[in-house]
Amino acid sequence: MVNRPTPADLNGGQDNSIPLPPLLLRELVEALRSLRYGTIELVIHDGRVVQLERREKVRFDTAPLDRPDRRKSATSKTREIHA
């Protein structure tokens, strides 16, 4: 296990964290728990979090049935489907 510094460690031991609304924390934790591959983006307006965006990629390791995927080499069998 790698010990990584926490924000308080990086700031000389002081905790200057910003309190986040409980609803935002619940949504963020749920997004983190349910996301296997993808991104979570917080949108900030006037210093406040106003939106949480969750993007997930689903990849299938099957060869295309109808035609080869021209974006990848002929030896690749990975096909991306974006949700």
- State the average pLDDT over residues 40-67: 86
77: CB partners within 8 A, 6+ apart:
61, 62, 63
What integer pLDDT is reported at residue 76 of this predicted model?
41
The answer to the question of residue 8 being in a domain is no
Residue 32 lies in a domain: yes
Domain count of the chain? 1
Evaluate whether residue 27 is within a structural domain. Answer: yes
- The rounded distance, in Å, linking the Cα atoms of 35 and 31 is 6
Q: Is the pLDDT of residue 81 over 70?
A: no
DSSP summary character for residue 82: E
In this predicted structure, what is the pLDDT of residue 62? 75
3-class SS at 69? Answer: coil
Q: What would the mean pLDDT of 63-83 be, rounded to a whole number?
A: 54
Q: Using one digit for the tens of pLDDT, what is the confidence trace for 46-59?
A: 989 999 999 998 88
Residue 30 maps to a domain? yes
Q: Is 38 left (phi over 0), alpha (psi -120 to 50) or beta?
A: left
**pLDDT of 67 higher than 90:** no
